Amino acid sequence: MSKLDALIDNRLLQNIFVWLILFIILIGGIQSENRIQTALYVTLFLLPSIYITNYFILPFFQKSKTLFFILFLLSGTLFTLIPVYAISKAINQPLDLKMFLNLFGFILLAMIFGMTIRIARDSFKRRQEVKEAELKLLKGQLNPHFLFNTLNNLYGLSVIKSDKLPNLMLKLSDLLRYSLYETRESFVSLKKEISYLENYISLEKLRLEEQADISFSISGELNDKELAPMLLIVFVENAFKHLGPTKGEKSTVNIDIKTTENTLVFKCENSFDTYNNKEENMEKGKSGIGLVNVKKRLALIYPEAHSLKIKKTNDVFSVDLKLSI
């Protein structure tokens, strides 16, 4: 990032610039003997009303629009009454309704202007964060270690001329095609995403052979449903990366996907060796994107529309994800 970009992205400088522009506009628009002083008073008075609206009242818009509008009007009324009362006291006259209504309209416009700037800035920042998350996703789509291991296993099958080879090569081809070409859109077919998971799991079964018990179950209607691409694979990769036996038994991976009319429930559990798996590595998947990035993507793409629970109990690592789709 250049120094100019850093200055442009600086929130403090952004705020100073906006208030400076408003101050200049007020100087040009106010009809008074001392325009600068009057413009300064107006600017200082607008500061608390706009910041209180942006940081304390605007967040209620997502939670309860009714409560938001009530608080918005109360705030506008309060910040109108204060100067009208002060002016009335200063000139020794009763409260002027016309003055109140004029100033009330001005305060509301200022508050709306401040909210508009805040919403536009947050929207721009959110789009940038989505692009960064998508870039990390693209960088992590092709995992060379997984690819090399799979090719080595396929080579071994080719040497013994196994009947499994053609089908597994087709699965690998589909896996790479989806990873490279099908994930460029913001949302993809749930059916294709699950097919991708099935191909990935099939190749992992080839790698693990008799070392692990792997189950993958799907229930519910998949047609006409979409979700963000490469979202579920991170959890599946993580399960296989940290897979290990439990108390001398075989390793296990259990993946379950259920869909209802507008909800997807994804559950993934894997056993792991508590002695060979470090806790700080449990949240980093094979692809390098890991759970940190997928949490960020969920927060950006499915705000207020997802629930993610990750647990590590004894020797089992589990993920429970619910999405509104």
pTM of full prediction above 0.85: no
HEC sequence for the chain: CCHHHHHHHCHHHHHHHHHHHHHHHHHHHCCCCCHHHHHHHHHHHHHHHHHHHHHHHCCHHHHCHHHHHHHHHHHHHHHHHHHHHHHHHHHCCCCCHHHHHHHHHHHHHHHHHHHHHHHHHHHHHHHHHHHHHHHHHHHHCCCHHHHHHHHHHHHHHHHCCCCCHHHHHHHHHHHHHHHHHHCCCCCEEHHHHHHHHHHHHHHHHHHHHHHEEEEEEEECCCCCCEECCCCCHHHHHHHHHCCCCCCCCCEEEEEEEEECCCEEEEEEEEECCCCCCCHHHCCCCCCCCHHHHHHHHHHHHCCCCEEEEEEEECCEEEEEEEEEC
CA–CA distance, 131 with 129 (Å, rounded to integer): 5
**pLDDT given for residue 146 in this prediction:** 57
Which of 297-305's residues contact partners 24+ apart within 8 Å by CB, and which partners?
Answer: 297/130, 297/133, 297/137, 297/228, 297/231, 298/231, 300/126, 300/129, 300/130, 300/133, 301/130, 301/186, 301/228, 302/228, 304/62
**pLDDT given for residue 286 in this prediction:** 46
For residue 107, what are its two tokens?
A: 């305060």
Do residues 197 and 255 touch, judged by C-beta distance below 8 A? Answer: yes
**Domains defined for the chain, CATH in brackets:** 3-135 (no CATH), 141-324 (3.30.565.10)
**pLDDT given for residue 204 in this prediction:** 83
Q: pLDDT by residue (tens digit) across 148-191?
A: 666 777 777 787 777 778 887 888 888 878 877 777 777 889 99
Do residues 230 and 183 touch, judged by C-beta distance below 8 A? Answer: yes
Residue ranges of the chain whose pLDDT lies below 70:
1-9, 32, 133-150, 246-248, 274-290
